[in-house]
Homo-oligomer: A and B are copies of this chain.
Amino acid sequence: MTLRKKKFAKKKEEILHSAINIIAERGYHGTTMEDIASNLFITKGSLYYYFKDKQELVFQSQIMLLLRSIDNMIAVQLEDILIAEKLRKAMRVHVTYLLRERSGFEMMIQPDHLFSKQQLEEIVSLREQYGTYFDQMINDGIEEKVFHVTDSKIVRNIILGAMNWVTQWYSPKGKKDVTEIADTIADHLMRVVIKN
């Protein structure tokens, strides 16, 4: 019984992964159920055994991505290091995750028209939760007088934006590998917050 359910859940995740990758490439409307299915060597129909409809599938994939990202942040949060190092680490983790998982942040853009009000609320809430980890670190740094920023909300968004954009320009063929890119970005972005 539990085996069954595990298998079911595993397959669901597989599908979500497939979906994330393809949607990251082609966008929501540009991706067909056929695309997602054939990528897994199953048929369209099977997808509907696991998900009610396309929207639900895509919604779930967003949720999965966000939950994982949040897990990443929690892990960083728990580390016992100086606040500046913690923020830098968070940035590196974010960028690395983004590039490694091709994680479909593209889809996160303007999801207003794709999802239901309720779904949207859940997504926004998780996004906000994720952002809060950065807020926290920024504020901690301010309190410890290591950081100096005039508007922490905006700074958070500047940092997230700068990082998310990486999927637009990073090419694996370039000189730097993912880790180096993550380091460089983190180093430069630290300047935005660090005192002098």
Interface residues of A (CB under 8 A from B): 25-30, 106, 109-110, 112-114, 149-151, 154-155, 157-166, 168-169, 181, 184-185, 187-189, 191-192, 196
**Quick check: A168 and B110 within 8 Å, CB to CB?**
yes
CA distance A54 to B131 in the complex (A): 37
Interface centre among A150, A155, A188 (most CB of B within 10 A): A188
Contact B166 A164 (CB under 8 A): no
Q: For the complex, give the distance between the alpha carbons of A109 and B112 in Å.
A: 17
From B27, B106, B191, give the contact of A191 (CB < 8 A): B191
Q: Can you report 20 A-B residue pairs in the complex whose CB atoms are below 8 A from each other?
A: A25-B112, A27-B29, A27-B113, A28-B29, A28-B30, A109-B109, A110-B168, A151-B184, A154-B184, A154-B188, A155-B188, A157-B166, A159-B162, A161-B162, A161-B164, A161-B168, A165-B165, A188-B192, A189-B192, A191-B192
B166 A163 Cβ-Cβ under 8 A: no
Chain B residues with CB below 8 A from A154, complex form: 181, 184-185, 188
CB distance from A182 to the nearest CB of B (A): 11
Chain B contacts for A110, CB-based, 8 A: 25, 27, 106, 168
Q: How far is the CB of A60 from chain B (nearest CB, A)?
A: 20
Question: Known contacts A25-B113, A27-B110, A30-B29: does B151 contact A158 (CB below 8 Å)?
Answer: no
**Beyond the given A28-B30, A158-B189, A188-B192, could you list 14 further A-B residue pairs with CB under 8 A, ordered by the A residue number?**
A29-B29, A106-B109, A150-B188, A155-B188, A157-B165, A158-B165, A158-B188, A159-B162, A160-B165, A161-B162, A161-B163, A162-B162, A191-B192, A192-B192
